[in-house]
Amino acid sequence: TDAAPGFPQPTEHTQKAYSPTDNFTSRWTRADAKQLKAMSDPDAGSRENSMPTEYTMPTVSQDFPDMSNEKVWVWDTWPLIDENANQYSVNGQEIIFSLVADRKLGFDERHQYARIGYFYRPAGIPADERPEDGGWTYGGQVFDEGVTGKIFEDQSFTHQTQWSGSARVSKNGEIKLFFTDVAFYRDKDGQDVKPYDSRIALSVGHVHSNKKGVKLTGFNKVKELLQADGKNYQNAAQNSYYNFRDPFTFVDPAHPGETYMVFEGNSAMDRDDAKCTAEDLGYREGETNGETVEQVNNSGATYQIGNVGLARAKNKALTEWEFLPPILSANCVTDQTERPQIYMQDGKYYLFTISHRSTFATGIDGPEGVYGFVGNGIRSDYQPLNRGSGLALGSPTNLNFAAGTPFAPDYNQHPGQFQAYSHYVMPGGLVQSFIDTIGTKDNFVRGGTLGPTVKLNIKGDSATVDYNYGDNGLGGWADIPANRELKNSKAV
């Protein structure tokens, strides 16, 4: 394939599978990520989308319903799953977990105050017969105050918060809630007096579900599972803004009896002397639109060194874990490869992860969205989806103009640029995400609730928006349907 004029060719990736324990990390290279800008229309005018429509979520309207009836801000959300990512209803109720925060806080203050809450709704009702807001009932917070702070040796934290994870249900109604347990140590001006502390943790409880509603019990202990090691995963000593979070567990038919976890990490280099290599750049031999390693390393791009981590359980109870090398690095590409998940289809392994426009490195640009990679195993030489770029589904964005922020969008930006984030890919290619901001600089509203579910047609190394799904591609608001039923008298 020919590269777009002025742009490099993407890196060649074989999709070859390696053993999960091998020391091989696939690279989302700069040559790959440059394909994002390469497919952006340089003539797209003010407030137009510059990205291909087949990879862009249709524009969401400002008059969205709020799924919590103004009770809480809602953002990152995950379903109740089994080891193969099937989504369950329990005794007739669908159940989801969300990060929630008090609506008295500004939406941008949410990260330091996040709590895991849950919602439920009756199962088996088609999306178009449900109430417009998805029909969820807010069940409250999973943990009592104080429970998740106990794992920190230094109890002088000023903010103790619960970040994203995933939830596994067993036949008897036991739930293993994997999440990110975080402590901040700040002064009265909000400055860190010591780096924040982010750990991957597990709490085990039980679901009680019947026609009347859903209750969760037993989430009163937390077991710490993993702390960033500084060898494969950057720690606070190397970078006080390290990213280490968002556990997602699964099994792999190629390795029966093992349970794995993917999570967000950073490459384990010191922030101030991180270096990217020729392999991280990934330019082909003879590339005329490339860059030198020196140029890139002097550009500030070395502050963006995200990776997707892999860990393996050491026991059946999933309470002991060991690190394996990362399965993907995005050195000098992006700093955040958040909420990674493994999605299996047609014998292929898809790695999905979300990234912000603002976390791309110098010289790389792309929309807020979910990025995807395909290979022949959980550890493989992953091929970035869609023209080698990695973009699976982006929010409508104009890469010819600056982004601004969710609280002050750039004047020329498309009203949808911050309409969706924290996408989670569900069985059948359905994708749910939350609304951050919708509208232009002079007229925007903040979200804090789930947006409309969309559907991706995933095949080989491409993923495209299914415009036949829902209303021109937009399905029900906050539609997270179960594809499996669990009926058990122990879970009443």
Residues of this chain that bind ligand FRU (CB under 6 A): 75-76, 99, 111, 114, 163-164, 180, 245-246, 264, 336, 338-339, 421-422
Is 280 an active-site residue?
Answer: no
Q: How far is the CB of 261 from ligand FRU (least distance, A)?
A: 14
- Give every CB contact of residue 231 below 8 A, 6+ residues apart in sequence: 268, 323
What the block records as the tokens of 468 is 């036949």
Which is nearer to ligand FRU, 178 or 421 (by Cβ)? 421
Which is nearer to ligand FRU, 252 or 338 (by Cβ)? 338
What the block records as the tokens of 307 is 């990776």
Which is nearer to ligand FRU, 338 or 479 (by Cβ)? 338
Greatest alpha-carbon span in the chain: 66
Q: How far is the CB of 338 from ligand FRU (least distance, A)?
A: 4
**How far is the C-alpha of 358 from the C-alpha of 377, rounded, in Å?**
30
Q: How far is the CB of 491 from ligand FRU (least distance, A)?
A: 28
Active-site annotation holder among 32, 76, 264, 479: 76
Q: How far is the CB of 46 from ligand FRU (least distance, A)?
A: 26
CA-nearest of 267, 422, 305 to 353 is: 422
Q: How far is the CB of 228 from ligand FRU (least distance, A)?
A: 14
Distances, alpha carbon 168 to alpha carbons 175, 206, 436, in Å: 6, 11, 27
Active-site annotation holder among 338, 368, 436, 479: 338
Which is nearer to ligand FRU, 3 or 200 (by Cβ)? 200
Is 368 an active-site residue?
Answer: no
CA-nearest of 135, 76, 145 to 423 is: 76
Which is nearer to ligand FRU, 407 or 411 (by Cβ)? 407
Query: What does DSSP assign to residue 150?
Result: T
**How far is the C-alpha of 283 from the C-alpha of 31, rounded, in Å?**
6
- Give every CB contact of residue 296 below 8 A, 6+ residues apart in sequence: 30, 276, 281, 302, 332, 363
Q: How far is the CB of 54 from ligand FRU (least distance, A)?
A: 25
Which is nearer to ligand FRU, 83 or 192 (by Cβ)? 192
- Give every CB contact of residue 9 below 8 A, 6+ residues apart in sequence: 1, 3, 31, 283, 284, 287
**How far is the C-alpha of 158 from the C-alpha of 161, rounded, in Å?**
10
CA-nearest of 414, 490, 488, 442 to 57 is: 414
Q: Strand pairing of 159-169 and 115-122?
A: unpaired
**How far is the C-alpha of 47 from the C-alpha of 181, rounded, in Å?**
39
Q: How far is the CB of 162 from ligand FRU (least distance, A)?
A: 9
What the block records as the tokens of 316 is 């059946």
Helices marked H in 220-355 — which ranges?
278-281, 293-297
Which is nearer to ligand FRU, 99 or 147 (by Cβ)? 99
CA-nearest of 414, 386, 385, 388 to 399 is: 414
Question: CA-based angle 249:233:351, to the nearest 5?
Answer: 40
**How far is the C-alpha of 69 from the C-alpha of 253, rounded, in Å?**
42
Q: How far is the CB of 429 from ligand FRU (least distance, A)?
A: 21
Q: How far is the CB of 292 from ligand FRU (least distance, A)?
A: 30
Local structure of 89: helix, strand or coil: strand
What the block records as the tokens of 105 is 């806080």
Cβ distance 392 to 352 under 8 Å? yes
**How far is the C-alpha of 424 from the C-alpha of 48, rounded, in Å?**
26
Which is nearer to ligand FRU, 16 or 186 (by Cβ)? 186
Active-site residues, by number, are 76, 338
